[in-house]
Structure 1
Amino acid sequence: MTTRQGPAQRGRRLVAVAAMAAAVLVLAGCAGTEPVRPIESSAAPSSGMAPVAAPTADLSGRRAELGIRACPAAGSGTAVPEGLPSVATPCLDGSGAVDLSTLRGTPMVVNLWATWCGPCRQEAPFLAEVSAGMSGKVEFLGVDVADPDPSAALEFAGREGWTYPHVADPDRRFSAGLGVAGLPQTLLVDADGKIVYRHAGALTSSDQLRGLVRDHLGVG
């Protein structure tokens, strides 16, 4: 025997089903990489998470031991509308800071990553292989986002064979300035400082990355 439901009961049931569906979507979103929350001012984001301090310890000696190149010096350019945000990002080894938007003259691959990002680990070998093969033609740069321990992040980069320079984005100003929604993300920047392509999510192979560099930066 079935019981007929009145309009009020049917309405309550629809609300409950909608709530369950929303909860599933939220949980699915949380299963991915941690989102980089946009901010609207130069202040640190009020996301409810504990703030991450910029690197302060001098890790330049350890960086050299790991075979990672030093943070680049500031360039002569100025920020362009479709380029990298003008933010003084601290070097991951604590040796200073650099505004990546000023770099000019050589095409760049800028990879945003973090040790807490699982897909970042999956694409790590492809970045190591392609960056080594394109030395002198394309400059690779890593941006370590909101990592609580710069020393551990530096060790991670060395262990993965990332010999290119790395800066830190402890307060997410750089990534928020790009409107990044999650990690990893790889940006292709031409010699004039313009972002010509963005790849959201993990790279799937070295050949994929080489193809992107060839197609969008004209370097084979």
Structure 2
Amino acid sequence: MRARTLLPAALTAALITLTGCGSGSSSDDAAEGASASTASSPAQPPASAETGESGDTGAQVPQVLRFTATTVDGKPFDAKTLAGKPTVLWFWAPWCPKCKAQAAETAKVAADYAGKANVVGVAGLDKNAAMKDFVADTGTSAFPHLSDEKGEVWKRFKVTEQSRYVILDKDGKTVYEGVLPGGKGLGEKVAGLTG
């Protein structure tokens, strides 16, 4: 009988953790400066490239970019097309005010570094219709957004809450993982990788 009580409680706790919009003062905010100079993150999937497969740019495709998904517009997406350039993965949820606050700066960075770096939104924690509305409402349609309703890409990068950035260098190594309130500092992080 006790197991019936504990299982729903554990599931509820897990859902609250996943759907929280994050607190105003998290350890991520405090560690932001330290994470920016870190060469890798514990949340980093393996970045080794297997020989023989290359992306659209001719660069070797690291393991971290060996996945496919569907965009919020229903188009197929193959992450191997990101190989060879620094990549910003922006994990967001349609109902999250912090995510909405990051949208303008993320779109600006995508435009400023077009052709030099990739920016990809990874939407989760809601249905695709809400994700499409968020993209339209925030004016972020100039770069791709993945519809990750099942959380597969989020799990791949060990992301457990929205309004997070995972930044990869041109070789697929994670160089930053965390929160950038309002997207502040994103441009500088990308500039350091494209310079």
Q: What is the alpha-carbon distance in structure 2 between the residues aligned to residue 177 and residue 31 of structure 1?
A: 17
Distance in 2 separating the partners of 1:117 and 1:93: 20
Which residue of the partner structure matches residue 132 of structure 2? 154
- Provide the residue aligned with 1:33 in structure 2: 21
Change (3 A) 1:102 1:135: closer
State whether residues 104 and 193 of structure 1, in contact with CA within 8 Å, keep that contact through their aligned partners in structure 2.
yes
Higher strand share: 2
| Larger radius of gyration between Structure 1 and Structure 2 | 1
1:94 counterpart = 2:82:
no
TM-score of the superposition, structure 2-length normalised?
0.63
1:210 to 171, 184, 187: 187
Shift of 1:183: 1.0
SS of alignment partner, residue 142 of structure 1:
strand
Aligned to 1:201: 179
CA distance in 1, matches of 2:82, 2:108: 23
1:124-169, CA deviations, whole angstroms, 9 ceiling, x for partnerless residues? 1111222222222212111111321x23312321321211111111
Alignment of 1:140-151 (within 5 A): 140-148=119-127, 150-151=128-129
CA distance in 1, matches of 2:18, 2:169: 34
- The question of whether the paired residues in 1 share the 8 Å contact of 2:169 and 2:175 is answered with yes
Query: 1:180 is matched with which residue: 145, 152, 159?
Result: 159
The alignment partner of 1:89 has SS state of strand
Aligned residue pairs, count: 146
Give, in whole Å, the separation in 2 of the partners of 1:119 and 1:183. 9
C-alpha separation in 2, matches of 1:102 and 1:132: 18
Question: After TM superposition, where is structure 1 displaced by more than 4 Å over at least 4 residues in a row?
Answer: 28-31, 74-77
* Distance in 2, Cα, partners of 1:95 & 1:139: 17
Distance in 2 separating the partners of 1:188 and 1:105:
13
Q: Which amino acid aligns with 1:91?
A: T
CA contact (8 A) 2:92 2:122 kept: yes
Distance (whole Å) between structure 2 residues aligned to residue 140 and residue 79 of structure 1: 17
2:109 maps to which residue?
130
Question: Which sections of structure 2, spanning at least 5 residues, go unmatched?
Answer: 1-12, 23-54
Aligned identity (percent) is: 27
Q: CA RMSD in A?
A: 2.7
Query: RCO greater where, 1 or 2, for CA within 8 Å and sep 6 or more?
Result: 2
More helix by share: 2
> What's the TM-score once normalised by structure 1's chain length?
0.57
Contact in 1 for aligned 2:82/2:118 (Cα 8 Å)? no
Question: Secondary structure of 2:188's match?
Answer: helix
